[in-house]
Amino acid sequence: MKLILVRPRGFCAGVNRAVQMLARTCAESDSAPIYVLHEIVHNSWVVEDFRRRGVRFVESLDEIPEGATVLFSAHGVSPSVRREAARRGLAAIDATCPLVASLHRQACRFAEDGWHIFLIGHKGHQEVIGTLGEAPRQMTLVSSADDAKTLTLPESADPDRLTYLTQTTLSEEGWREIVAALRARFPALTDPPGAGVCFATRNRQEAVRRVAPEADALLVVGSANSSNSRRLAELGEMSGTRSLLINGPDDIDPAQFSPEMTLLMTAGASAPEEVFQLCVEKLARHFPVEIEERAVCEENVRFNC
């Protein structure tokens, strides 16, 4: 069996920063529990590891005692959450990815200048909820090309000042299709500076796009609630390559593979390299493997904690 281990894969700079910030907070804390609002990143291995170290993951600030320490996850939170944390006297540590924070600032600037913003993203995703919270009356969520065809523009929106922003972890093809559908209805739609998904999402997708045609199957290591991991598996399918999203080695059923196959392997931006390697090791226990590391592009971005 040939395994092509593609790069870039796994932790992006934003996830790395958030995980390091939580690890440092754990190391520096006394015995008081540390709370994280939502999953620090969308990966069950990462979350379980921190849970074993005593971190408490909550879905609402109401679950946190006054004065406690809370981390905001890499996906960001809305201003109302920040205000509520301050009101409750919580010591808030912000692990929002700098690129998500930049998206929030862009939303604020557009809103202040009187633009109406289509936010292209998945309903209910934490990043989308947080970004929408910056200017809820001047933003409309658009999750699909069908949404774009049927949405109603609020009366307050100026049809000559329409723009869009995108969730950072969408598929390249997906957000472009939605923008095209929006533009068909609203020809004055203006592209924002730096439109599109983040560099890490783009790089991981490009790696799969380029190498998938060489493979009989694609294995994406990542959790089911990880948007960017799901997009990688969808991209493999779109390229005509059977694609499986696996959370870890237990999800690999050797009966689904055969020794003469070529497998392309990657990992979503929130999946740890250790878990990826456990998956490689499991395949190597069942098949004779030839391993090729394939770097499609360099990714040297680091964010300070």
Residues that bind ligand SF4 (CB under 6 A): 12-15, 74, 97, 99-100, 168-169, 198, 200-201, 228, 269
The least CB distance from residue 253 to ligand SF4, in Å, is: 29
190: DSSP letter: B
Peptide bond into 8 cis (omega under 30): yes
42: DSSP letter: S
SS3 262: strand
The least CB distance from residue 99 to ligand SF4, in Å, is: 4
Residue 172 burial (CB count, 10 A): 16
- Per the CB < 8 A criterion, the answer to whether 278 and 3 are in contact is no
191: DSSP letter: P
Distance (Å, whole) CA 24 – CA 151: 45
Q: Which residue, 70 or 103, is less far from ligand SF4 as judged by CB? A: 103
Distance (Å, whole) CA 227 – CA 14: 14
Q: Which residue, 3 or 197, is less far from ligand SF4 as judged by CB? A: 197
- Residues with Cβ within 8 Å of 52's Cβ and at least 6 positions away in sequence, in order, are none
The least CB distance from residue 168 to ligand SF4, in Å, is: 4
The least CB distance from residue 106 to ligand SF4, in Å, is: 13
Using Cβ positions, the residue closest to ligand SF4 within the complex turns out to be 14
End-to-end C-alpha distance for the chain, whole angstroms:
40
- Per the CB < 8 A criterion, the answer to whether 97 and 303 are in contact is yes
**Active-site residue list:** 127
Q: Which residue, 167 or 287, is less far from ligand SF4 as judged by CB? A: 167
Q: Which residue, 34 or 198, is less far from ligand SF4 as judged by CB? A: 198
The least CB distance from residue 202 to ligand SF4, in Å, is: 9
- Per the CB < 8 A criterion, the answer to whether 5 and 279 are in contact is no
The least CB distance from residue 209 to ligand SF4, in Å, is: 17
Q: Which residue, 64 or 127, is less far from ligand SF4 as judged by CB? A: 127
- Residues with Cβ within 8 Å of 170's Cβ and at least 6 positions away in sequence, in order, are 120, 121, 122, 197, 201, 227, 231
Distance (Å, whole) CA 270 – CA 221: 9
Q: Which residue, 169 or 223, is less far from ligand SF4 as judged by CB? A: 169
